[in-house]
């Protein structure tokens, strides 16, 4: 079973899943390795949900669980860092201050709004809304470099009025092509996030064309994550993800330990 490198637990503002439940599920699925990657979206007002990670509680709990389960599974400690152009120094400081195994850099908020909410799309054309997201995604990656992989690159497609019905790589390549080039040239990776399959998109995040193009540009690092906020979704549709990665030209998928990539044959 491929290792799940994108899950959320009780430490994320939008999850109440006990960490132990996630670990035990991964063990039952036959995983050798699991990475907890709880949310930290600093500097945004997300309304009802507080996405600021309690670092003290996080680092009190996870190292102890890592030791407790060391004979059953390799538990890695990660974080999903919300990126903004203004947070380059902040992200660097967090990465230096804490001994994370893995950091996902994700774009959730655009002009203070999360596309998860329908209000993001109110009063604007769907294409314009998508373009604004991809523009901000590119600017975030230009401004912030303290991460290992770029998370769920076309996250916004999950929530658009027509989802991915009119969405193609070609339509947004003016943003996606330089994004993938920057990542590949700087030794960063992308993830194959199976939450898109769970949302009924018929694709992971990102679209297979993005996975394929990243490989063509020399990108080698790809992690696999379920984006589970509940234990029942840990490892969701990973068999399909494995076949898709092979189809897109990957021979290996990646896990991380102490911020260093480890390659595993698919």
User: pTM here?
Assistant: 0.96
Q: 252: number of CA atoms within 13 Å, CB side?
A: 11
Output the pLDDT for position 19. Answer: 98
Residue 129 backbone class (left: φ over 0; alpha: ψ -120 to 50; beta: rest): alpha
Question: pLDDT per residue over 147-171, tens digit each?
Answer: 999 999 999 999 999 988 889 999 9
Confidence of residue 83 (pLDDT cuts 50, 70, 90): very high
pLDDT of 47 higher than 80: no
**How crowded is residue 159: how many other Cβ atoms within 10 Å of its Cβ?**
16
Question: pLDDT per residue over 87-139, tens digit each?
Answer: 999 999 999 999 999 999 999 999 888 998 898 999 889 999 999 999 999 99
- Angle, alpha carbons 26-54-69 (nearest 5°): 30
Structural Rg of the chain based on CA atoms: 17
Sequence-distant (6+) residues with CB within 8 A of 1 are: 29, 30, 31, 32, 235, 238
Domains of the chain in sequence order: 4-265 (3.20.20.140)
CA distance 73 to 203: 29
């Amino acid at each position: 079973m491929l290792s799940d490198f994108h899950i959320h637990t009780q430490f994320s503002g939008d999850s109440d899943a006990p960490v132990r439940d996630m670990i035990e599920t991964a063990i039952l699925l036959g995983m050798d390795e699991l990475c907890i990657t709880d949310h930290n979206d600093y500097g945004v007002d997300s309304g009802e949900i507080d996405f600021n990670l309690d670092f003290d509680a996080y680092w009190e709990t996870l190292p102890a669980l890592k030791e407790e389960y060391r004979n059953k599974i390799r538990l890695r400690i990660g974080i999903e860092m919300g990126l903004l152009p203004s947070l380059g120094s902040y992200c660097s400081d967090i990465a230096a201050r804490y001994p994370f195994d893995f950091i996902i850099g994700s774009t959730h908020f655009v002009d203070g709004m999360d596309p998860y909410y329908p209000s993001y799309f109110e009063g604007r054309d769907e294409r314009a809304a998508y373009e604004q997201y991809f523009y901000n995604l590119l600017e975030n990656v230009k401004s912030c470099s303290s991460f290992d992989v770029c998370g769920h690159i076309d996250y916004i497609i999950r929530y658009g009025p027509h989802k991915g019905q009119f969405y193609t790589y070609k339509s947004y390549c003016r943003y996606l092509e330089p994004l993938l080039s920057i990542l590949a040239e700087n030794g960063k990776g992308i993830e194959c996030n199976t939450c898109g399959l769970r949302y009924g998109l018929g694709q992971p995040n990102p679209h297979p064309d993005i996975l394929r193009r990243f490989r063509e540009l020399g990108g080698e690092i790809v992690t696999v994550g379920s984006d589970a906020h509940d234990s029942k979704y840990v490892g969701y549709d990973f068999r399909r993800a494995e076949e898709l990665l092979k189809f897109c030209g990957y021979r290996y998928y990646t896990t991380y330990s102490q911020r260093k990539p480890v390659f595993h044959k698919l």
